[in-house]
Amino acid sequence: MKALEFRGRKRTKELLSQIEREIPERRVKVMHVCGTHESTICRYGLREALPENLELVQGPGCPVCVTPTERVDEAVELSKKDGVIVATFGDMTRVPGSSESLVADGKNVRIVESIEDVVKMETDKEVVFFGVGFETTASTYAPVLLEDHEGFSFLSSVRRIPPAINFLLEECGADVDGFIAPGHVSVITGSEAYREVVDRHGKPVVVGGFEPLDVLSSVLKLIRSIKGEGKLVNDYSRAVDEKGNENAQRLIERAFKVKDSSWRGLGDIPDSGLELKNEENDVRKKFDLNIEKDKTRPEGCICEEIITGQSKPDDCKLFAGGKCDPRNPVGPCMVGSEGMCNVWYRYGGT
Amino acid sequence: MTDIGLEEGSGGEEMMKLLEESVLPHLEGGDLEIGLEEMDDGAAWELPDGNYLVFTTDTHVVKPLFFPGGDIGKLAVSGTVNDLAVMGADPKYLSSAIVVEEGFEREEVEEISRSMGETADEADVNIVTGDLKVVERGGLDGITVNTSGVGVAERLTKSSSLEPGDSIVVSGDVGRHGMAVLASRHGLDFSIESDVNPVNGLVQKLMEVDGVKSLKDPTRGGLAAALNEMADCSGVGVKVSEDKIPLDSEVEGAGKVLGIDPYGLANEGRVVVGVESPFVDDVMDVLRKSSLAPGAEVIGMCKEKNPGKVLLETEIGTKRVLRPPHGDPLPRIC
């Protein structure tokens, strides 16, 4: 399939004018839940091109951003123990904890590109993999976690997207008219994973792809759904079906158990976390971790409001004043390429 | 004590801050046509005959030392030759100062030197003085090569001379050097070759075209940084079309995979030209005849609107601001 099919000028114009014609006159707020969607929106200047009364926000869709401070603190504490190496993705090493990030001391921290790198590491130390991600990443962790590995343990920061969307509506009273669901998570979960959002909350969900025309098409379908009855639409059928990848789901089920999980900006969300089933490799069984939840946050940082779609990066004084950037990130949304602040920084905002 | 971070060598805001706070206050630049305080690619001194002596220097620390399309030797000569050329000078003589780590292979020093000699021949310059030092193991990562160069210019080109209505031309596809180095560093299987080449011959021909006002070699910070500098220094808005910006399909693909914008990646053999629009065809004629300008294109125009900003019309017809890249996605690229 050629990418050009998703980037035609003519089709872009058509979609934009259809959206213009069909959007209700009132303000419409659409939330997507994915850093890749945000990149497409910024890279192609879609916010500027869409009608003014359409507000497009990013929700809790960056796994690095939603990892709460206490989980970072746990990883930092582990990295200070004798005989322990903490291995994780580069972005995670730079997320500020309550007093420092993993990279600050860094002696016993290794940056890896996959969980396979971790189990291949040659060392007589205990290697703790600090694994972050959503369903898509969980499916890549699962096969390795199901194997037996000596001297290996897992600190989980793995989360499920659909419970977070429900929670936003139920507990946070999010004033969102509809959601664009992330295509790659949905490849694993299937579009039906968002059924509850639609049936219980009456909010439409469109599962969308990542090319600019995908995003515009998803916005149009969402607007149509908002005007009618809340519906579940799979607008990314070239990759996603109703049921998802059942093999991957089975692997995730075998490797992980569903638990409540804490999200930055949102708090504890029931059934939103994936913890390791094999307790022998669970870091909490091997080490005593006594980290208190730290509710304080860096002065001026509004990452929590950004994660919940209440604010955008340019509402942040640190962002606007050039006091927070990818090299010296104050909050997690500036750290990784999926974070809204980071994306805005790279593409010059909006 | 404050430790210096990698980003402070990135050529961006951080480096400027370091220089302005800790280096420049202690140096006296002298009263030159283009002096230290202008922080240009080099300095220029007016000679008694009305021509200008242009002087520049650059230290090269690329990793890996040998990359597809070139090596640190070719890069060291091309970089200095091109810096002189885009200031309007005809490069003449270069120096070469090499620092080697104990244990570095002698054959590699020879290969790098051979490459420097060949590139100097190509550029029609001579390397006329030099120095070599060896530091203890661990005192340096392999080798660094510094080259300085002088050349003579009849007239100097400046980034500050563009006006609304002028056209912007790029001499070939962008982002090649940065992506070639990055791909080989990560062992990625692409056939992308660096564009590293001395382009002084081509620049000389461009200088002969009426209406050519401004020339930039889009090295660190790539096309995005070069266009922003032109917009900023001249106080004009620059509008470019993504459709027109030449991009190798592999560079584009690799950029997508790695999440890196090729417009912010270094080029080592390209020139961005600002030219009065009636003369743009003459510039294109020169470029089309050169083997060093594959796929040259008129990519945009200077506008009165949005002075100091670069506006990119995306391939789907929407618009976004193209900012200079912040920091360096890839340290040790040149």
- Dump pLDDT digits (tens) for A215-263: 999 999 999 999 887 799 999 999 999 999 999 999 999 999 999 999 9
> Residue A92 is part of a domain; what is its CATH number?
3.40.50.11750
Query: Which letter, b or e, does each residue of A286-307 get, where b requires 16 or more Cβ atoms within 10 Å of its Cβ?
Result: ebeeebeeeeebeeebbbbebb
Q: Which residues of A touch B320 (CB under 8 A)?
A: 42-45, 48, 347-348, 350
pLDDT at B78 over 60: yes
Q: Which of B316, B319, B328 to mutate to test the interface with A (most CBs of A within 10 A)?
A: B316
Q: Lowest mean pLDDT of A30-44, A150-164, B31-45, B241-255, name the range.
A: B31-45
Query: Is A216 found in the same domain as A328?
Result: no
Q: Which of A4, A5, A44, A334 to mutate to test the interface with B (most CBs of B within 10 A)?
A: A44
Interface contact B317, partner A, CB < 8 A: yes
Residues A43, B314: C-beta atoms closer than 8 Å: yes
Q: Ramachandran region of residue A289, left (φ > 0), alpha (ψ -120 to 50) or beta?
A: beta
Q: Which residues of B touch A325 (CB under 8 A)?
A: 326-327
Task: Give the model's pLDDT for residue B164.
Answer: 97
Query: Is A271 found in the same domain as A139?
Result: yes
Query: Is A35 found in the same domain as A180?
Result: yes
Residue A298 within a domain: no
Residues B323, A325: C-beta atoms closer than 8 Å: no
Residue A184 within a domain: yes
Task: Give the model's pLDDT for residue B39.
Answer: 81
Query: Is A167 found in the same domain as A32?
Result: yes
pLDDT band for A1, please (50, 70, 90 cuts). very low
C-alpha distance from A92 to closest chain B C-alpha (Å): 17
Query: Is A310 found in the same domain as A265?
Result: no
What is the value of ipTM here, to two decimals? 0.77
Task: Give the model's pLDDT for residue B287.
Answer: 98
Residue A317 within a domain: yes
Query: Is A194 found in the same domain as A307?
Result: no
Task: Give the model's pLDDT for residue B10.
Answer: 67
pLDDT tens, B51-73?
A: 999 999 999 999 999 999 999 99
Interface contact B17, partner A, CB < 8 A: no
Q: B124: Cβ–Cβ under 8 A, 6 or more apart, which residues? A: B200, B201
Which of B7, B14, B316 is closest, CB to CB, to A44? B316
How many folded domains does chain A comprise? 2
Residue A297 within a domain: no
Q: B212: Cβ–Cβ under 8 A, 6 or more apart, which residues? A: B157, B206, B273, B274, B275, B279, B283
| Distance, CA of B116 to CA of B96 (rounded, Å) | 9
| Distance, CA of A89 to CA of A93 (rounded, Å) | 7
| Distance, CA of A230 to CA of A233 (rounded, Å) | 10
Query: Is A101 found in the same domain as A42?
Result: yes
Task: Give the model's pLDDT for residue B333.
Answer: 64
Domain with CATH 3.30.1330.10 in chain B: 31-153
Query: Is A71 found in the same domain as A34?
Result: yes
| Distance, CA of A236 to CA of A191 (rounded, Å) | 9
Interface contact A348, partner B, CB < 8 A: yes
- The closest alpha carbon to B94, from B174, B178, B150, belongs to B150
Query: Is A162 found in the same domain as A130?
Result: yes
Max mean pLDDT range (A279-293, A305-319, B243-257, B267-281): B267-281
Residue A296 within a domain: no
Domain end position, chosen among A248, A264, A291: A291
Which of A9, A337, A349 is closest, CB to CB, to B317? A9
Give percent of chain A above pLDDT 90.
72
Question: Which domain covers residue A259, as residue numbers?
Answer: 1-291
Range B216-239 average pLDDT: 93
Residue A98 within a domain: yes
Interface contact A213, partner B, CB < 8 A: yes
Query: Is A235 found in the same domain as A341?
Result: no
The three-state (H, E, C) secondary structure of B248-298, written as one string: CHHHHHHHHHHCCCHHHCCCCCCCEEEECHHHHHHHHHHHHCCCCCCCCEE
Task: Give the model's pLDDT for residue A140.
Answer: 94
Which CATH class for the B167-321 domain?
A: alpha beta
Task: Give the model's pLDDT for residue B331.
Answer: 58
pLDDT at A32 over 70: yes
Query: Is A108 found in the same domain as A227?
Result: yes
Query: Is A103 found in the same domain as A16?
Result: yes
Interface contact A2, partner B, CB < 8 A: no
pTM: 0.82
Nearest residue of B to residue A45, measured between CA atoms: B320
Range B196-200 average pLDDT: 98
Interface contact B232, partner A, CB < 8 A: no
CATH number of the domain at B31-153, out of 3.40.50.620, 3.90.950.10, 3.30.300.180, 3.30.1330.10?
3.30.1330.10
pLDDT at A299 over 50: yes
- Whether the bond between B329 and the residue before it is cis, its omega within 30 degrees of 0, is no
